[in-house]
A and B are shown apart, each in its own frame.
Chain A
């Protein structure tokens, strides 16, 4: 079975600090893509960052970076210099090249406070 586990239902961080959201997944496929999506109160799903499983180099997008450990099937998201606008639900997900269907975790609610 293909699953995504986000073990932190809620996290909080002070503005300008760094926070890491954890994600583990399970798949028997070798070719897949991993994603972090942000869902603010507006409910729109916004792509934060993506990682190709065949790449060893961790993806980075401005203040957002990932720690991808393929052998451990771990895909954590690090947010540096947290901003109030980062307050949202964060979903980890992956899709395999075979199915094209996103498998989602249950989400982590991140609160950034001043």
Chain B
């Protein structure tokens, strides 16, 4: 398994500002992901955070809006830039753990952002 810590857990942000969310894992993992969950919705993958190279973004998400860092195998950050009320969501970090029994994906506690 993996223990994933996310900061902040919750924040209220002013329109036009940027906020960086941190994700720390208690073990080295190859694959880290960032998801967004808008109110009342399911989860949508934003990007795969690649260690030592640029993140791989899904359709509809761009680096200028959601810059991601992955300096090592246990840590990643997601920045939500120039926020608008439409960015009010829960942002979740997840990791894939590969074991003898196969792959398992774990999530952090989530960061609940409200943009006013």
**Which residues does A use to contact B, with CB under 8 Å?**
33, 35, 37, 42-47, 50, 52, 91, 93, 95, 97, 100-102, 104-107
Contact = CB atoms under 8 A, between A and B. Distances in A.
Contacts of A102: 33, 43, 45, 94, 105
A93 B110 CA distance: 18
Contacts, number: 54
Given A43-B90, A102-B45, 9 more contacts: A37-B107, A43-B109, A43-B112, A44-B107, A52-B101, A91-B42, A95-B105, A101-B45, A102-B43
Tell me the dominant secondary structure on chain B's binding face.
strand
B55 interface: no
10 contacts: A37-B107, A43-B110, A45-B92, A47-B105, A50-B104, A95-B103, A100-B31, A100-B48, A102-B94, A105-B42
Contacts of B106: 47
Contacts of B87: none
Contacts of A97: 103
Given A43-B110, A45-B92, A100-B48, A35 B43 contact: no
